[in-house]
Amino acid sequence: MSDTAAIPDRADIERLETLSPFELRETLISLGTHSQQRVAHALLNAGRGNPNFLAAAPREAFFQLGLFAVQDGREVGQWQTDLIAQPKQQDISKRLDAWLAARVDEPGIALLTAICSWADDQGWDGDEFVFELVDGILGEHYPDPPAMLSYCSQVTARYLATLMGEGFSGDRIDLFATEGGTAAMCYVFGSLFANGILHPGDGVAIMAPVFTPYLDIVSLPEYGLEQVLLEADMTFPDGTHSWQYSAEQIDKLRDPSIKLLICINPTNPPSVRLSDDTLAQIAEIVATVNPGLVIITDDVYATFVQGFRSLASSLSRNTILIYSFSKYFGATGWRLGAIATAKDTILDEKLAALPAAEKQRLARRYSSLTDDTASLSFAERLVADSRDVALRHTAGLSQPQQVQLALFALFDMLDEAGAYRRSVQQLIRRRLDALLTGLQFNLHPDPLRAGYYVELDFMSYVNEHFPADFAAFLKKSYEPTDILFRLAAQTGVVALNGSGFDGPPWSVRLSLANLDEADYSVIGKAIRSVAEEYVTEWQAGRAQP
């Protein structure tokens, strides 16, 4: 069988282009696997954002803490060896100190010791703090409070304050720990609709390109929202994309029919942080013409770029902040995320301003929780809605997950030299450099680039470096995603279509997180070789009489 035999024809490619890029990926993986078997190519799946690096120390600390928790419970219990009791809170911090001192050379012990010392410096009650972690890691209770354990919440709030930029205060937010950022997305949209803050027909602005599920959620027929795209239309002087937004695009938010803005910052897939000018323009629009605008800002990639600033730092009252620990700590399988809203959020003002009939409906909805339903904040309703209200008492992220989340946050906060963050950022940068070396192409230098993903616009490059008839030939002869099918079938490289993220039709989205540095050089060469095929085919057509 020839290398091109497995490539679908143009009609099939056109049909497959309608799928979500994450569904299209399965077809490409199948082609890439076939190529691997036939030509001995390694399957290189660069369509996956799951990182292949992990933070070791907070995991070591987690497992050590778990061993202490079991041992402490066993010493308290009066039953058989495998039937232990709940550890006792009194003097538990002293018992942990002694246990740590006897294991100073073991992995994770230094971090646990530093964490206990840090908690003391905060003036926290040592027994209360340690008991929450120990009781939590054993997972013997439903989370209480359901939104988040007390000390885990305080740790997370302080950690977010170190990430989100000047103006963000961890002391003035409510937190809800969730099963990753994906659960956070579902909970937020569910509560916005359940509480009459969003209605069918409302305008929703989406900063594109964007993580596809946001497009899919907004398009759900039961929501009936009107989608308005804010396109990243800015370019560098050389014509390549900067993936920033012109003032004209952001000015679409001046339309009062737009009730919600969805922003990923740094972006996915272009992977650049929003410019200060864009942040300032959005703040000006909210201050002057659209004060009721609700903003969902998904800031999962904040740690991959220097000088990050979130919209939550300047528009805390308007924002619903979603943060996930998955990417930076290599913890997608842990499902660790959080939703943050300001204690003085405009969402509570919107609840207070609802018509009487809506308030009566919501009083019935939340009547099992309290006889004063009007006093329930949006943050409290969010927790209840996550379990369809009826099961609010069993809501919340599991306690062991919350303990690991807190250990991740404390590990990064206590790394004052920034060694882990620097290592992660440098790792991503080396992979980008390897990709570009293989491509024989340079990206415009950009201090706002996070680089967790890269989006390469093939047609933009063609327009800049080739005669106009080459671009016309490509558009006439091929579907924009043809390059993805060639890559998979001929080289075993799997990438995603940027168009699936509402990016340019001929763009390719690659993850720089899940493969090794040498693999990205191979991927770059593969993309270049496939692109050269198009040039050869075009030149052959021009040479014919």
475-531 pLDDT, tens digit per residue, is 999 998 898 888 888 888 999 888 888 999 999 999 999 999 999 999 999 999 999
pLDDT beneath 70, residues of the chain: 1-6, 11-22, 24-29, 31-42, 77-81, 543-545
Alpha helices in 276-418 (DSSP H): 276-288, 311-314, 346-352, 356-365, 378-385, 399-414
* Domains in the chain: ranges and CATH: 10-49+419-543 (3.90.1150.10), 57-141 (1.10.20.110), 150-413 (3.40.640.10)
Q: How far is residue 506's CA from residue 474's CA, in Å, rounded to a whole number? A: 10
Give the Cα-Cα-Cα angle 195, 363, 377 (nearest 5 degrees): 55
Given CA atoms 413, 415, 418, 419 in this order, what sign does their dihedral have? Answer: negative
Long-range contacts (CB closer than 8 Å, 24 or more residues apart) made by 32-38: 32/488, 32/489, 32/492, 32/493, 32/494, 33/492, 34/6, 34/489, 35/3, 35/6, 35/488, 35/489, 35/490, 35/491, 35/492, 36/492, 38/1, 38/3
Residue 40: its pLDDT value, please? 40
pTM assigned to the model: 0.93
Q: What is the pLDDT of residues 146-202, one digit of tens each?
A: 999 999 999 999 999 999 999 999 999 999 999 999 999 999 999 999 999 999 999
Percent share of the chain, pLDDT over 70 = 91
Q: Is there a contact between 284 and 291 (Cβ–Cβ < 8 Å)? A: no
Q: What is the pLDDT of residues 410-424, one digit of tens each?
A: 999 999 999 999 999
Q: How far is residue 411's CA from residue 62's CA, in Å, rounded to a whole number? A: 11
Q: Measured in Å, how far apart are the chain's first and last C-alpha atoms?
A: 31
3-class DSSP state of 462? helix
Q: How far is residue 389's CA from residue 395's CA, in Å, rounded to a whole number? A: 9
Residue 542: its pLDDT value, please? 74
Q: How far is residue 463's CA from residue 446's CA, in Å, rounded to a whole number? A: 22
Q: How far is residue 73's CA from residue 142's CA, in Å, rounded to a whole number? A: 18
Q: How far is residue 224's CA from residue 59's CA, in Å, rounded to a whole number? A: 43
Residue 214: its pLDDT value, please? 93
